[in-house]
Structure 1
Amino acid sequence: ATAAARLACTAVAGSQGVEAADPWRTHTAYARIGLVGNPSDGFFGKTIAVAVSNWKASVRIRPSPRIVLEPHPVCDPHAFDSMEELHRAYSKQGYQGGIILLEATCKKFCEYCKKHQIDLSGKGGFTLQYDTNIPRQVGLAGSSALITATLNCLLDFYGLGEDAMPMPVRPSFVLSVEVEELSIQAGLQDRVIQTYQGCMFMDFAKEMLEARGHGAYERIPTSTLPPLWLAYVADPSNSGKIHSDVKARWQGGDAEVVAAMKTFARFTDEAHTSLLARDWASLGKLMESNFDLRRQIYGDACLGAANLAMVALAKELG
Structure 2
Amino acid sequence: MTIETRAFARAGLLGNPSDQYYGKIIAVSVKNFSARVSLEESSELRIETSARDAEVYRDKREFTERLDLYGYYGGTRLIKAALKTFFDHCRSLDIPLRPENFSLRYNSDIPRQVGMAGSSALIVAAMRALMEFYAVRIREEVLPTLVLQAELKELGINAGYMDRVIQVYEGCVYMNLERGLVEQKGFGEYERLDTSLLPPLYLAYKPDLGKVSGTVHNELRTAYDRGDAAAIRTIEEIAGLAEEGRRGYCQGDFSAWPDLMNRNFDLRARVMKISPSNREIVQAARRCGASANFAGSGGSIVGIYEDEEMFICLSRGLGRIGARVSSRRLPEAECFHNRKAKPKRVISAGRSARSSFSPRPSITSTARS
Q: Fold match, TM over 0.5?
A: yes
Equivalent residue number for residue 77 of structure 1: 54
Equivalent residue number for residue 311 of structure 1: 282
The reply on whether 1:66 has 2:66 as its aligned counterpart is: no
Equivalent residue number for residue 9 of structure 1: none
> What is the CA distance between 1:316 and its match in structure 2?
1.5
> What is the CA distance between 1:309 and its match in structure 2?
0.9
SS of the residue corresponding to residue 139 of structure 1 reads coil
- Please point out which of 30, 35, 58 is paired with 1:52: 30
Does the Cα contact within 8 Å between 1:238 and 1:304 map onto a contact in 2? no
Structure 2 segments unaligned to the other structure (5+ residues): 290-369
For residues 243 and 196 of structure 1, the distance between their equivalents in structure 2, rounded to whole angstroms, comes to 24
SS of the residue corresponding to residue 207 of structure 2 reads coil
What is the letter of the counterpart of residue 55 of structure 1? F
* Residues 83, 315 of structure 1: alpha-carbon distance in 2 compared, 3 angstrom cutoff: closer
Cα RMSD over matched residues? 1.8
For residues 295 and 98 of structure 1, the distance between their equivalents in structure 2, rounded to whole angstroms, comes to 30
For residues 156 and 257 of structure 1, the distance between their equivalents in structure 2, rounded to whole angstroms, comes to 42
* Residues 91, 294 of structure 1: alpha-carbon distance in 2 compared, 3 angstrom cutoff: closer
What is the letter of the counterpart of residue 156 of structure 2? S
* Residues 260, 92 of structure 1: alpha-carbon distance in 2 compared, 3 angstrom cutoff: closer
Equivalent residue number for residue 128 of structure 2: 152
TM-score, structure 2 as length reference: 0.75
TM-score, structure 1 as length reference: 0.86
Equivalent residue number for residue 108 of structure 1: 85
State the Cα deviation string for residues 166-198 of structure 1 (Å, max 9, x = none).
111100000111111111101000000000000
For residues 219 and 238 of structure 1, the distance between their equivalents in structure 2, rounded to whole angstroms, comes to 30
Does the Cα contact within 8 Å between 2:70 and 2:113 map onto a contact in 1? no
Equivalent residue number for residue 19 of structure 2: 41
SS of the residue corresponding to residue 113 of structure 2 reads coil
Equivalent residue number for residue 4 of structure 1: none
For residues 84 and 309 of structure 1, the distance between their equivalents in structure 2, rounded to whole angstroms, comes to 27
Equivalent residue number for residue 253 of structure 1: 227
For residues 279 and 202 of structure 1, the distance between their equivalents in structure 2, rounded to whole angstroms, comes to 19
Equivalent residue number for residue 205 of structure 2: 232
State, as a whole percentage, how many aligned pairs show the same letter.
Answer: 37
Farther off after superposition, 228-237 or 34-43: 228-237
* Residues 238, 102 of structure 1: alpha-carbon distance in 2 compared, 3 angstrom cutoff: closer
SS of the residue corresponding to residue 51 of structure 1 reads strand
> What is the CA distance between 1:281 and its match in structure 2?
2.3
- Please point out which of 136, 141, 148 is paired with 2:117: 141
Task: Number of aligned residue pairs: give it.
Answer: 288
* Residues 288, 81 of structure 1: alpha-carbon distance in 2 compared, 3 angstrom cutoff: closer
* Residues 82, 234 of structure 1: alpha-carbon distance in 2 compared, 3 angstrom cutoff: closer
For residues 121 and 239 of structure 1, the distance between their equivalents in structure 2, rounded to whole angstroms, comes to 37
State the Cα deviation string for residues 124-179 of structure 1 (Å, max 9, x = none).
00011011000011000000000000000000000011xxx211110000011111
- Please point out which of 106, 119, 124 is paired with 2:96: 119
Farther off after superposition, 248-257 or 191-200: 248-257
Does the Cα contact within 8 Å between 1:30 and 1:55 map onto a contact in 2? yes
> What is the CA distance between 1:95 and its match in structure 2?
1.9
SS of the residue corresponding to residue 185 of structure 1 reads coil
State the Cα deviation string for residues 1-26 of structure 1 (Å, max 9, x = none).
xxxxxxxxxxxxxxxxxxxxxx2111
Structure 1 segments unaligned to the other structure (5+ residues): 1-22
The reply on whether 1:217 has 2:217 as its aligned counterpart is: no
SS of the residue corresponding to residue 245 of structure 2 reads helix
Does the Cα contact within 8 Å between 1:50 and 1:199 map onto a contact in 2? yes
Equivalent residue number for residue 283 of structure 1: 257
State the Cα deviation string for residues 54-109 of structure 1 (Å, max 9, x = none).
100000111111111111122x2234565445444434432211111111111111
* Residues 238, 48 of structure 1: alpha-carbon distance in 2 compared, 3 angstrom cutoff: closer
* Residues 47, 62 of structure 1: alpha-carbon distance in 2 compared, 3 angstrom cutoff: same
> What is the CA distance between 1:234 and its match in structure 2?
2.4
SS of the residue corresponding to residue 245 of structure 1 reads helix
For residues 296 and 135 of structure 1, the distance between their equivalents in structure 2, rounded to whole angstroms, comes to 27
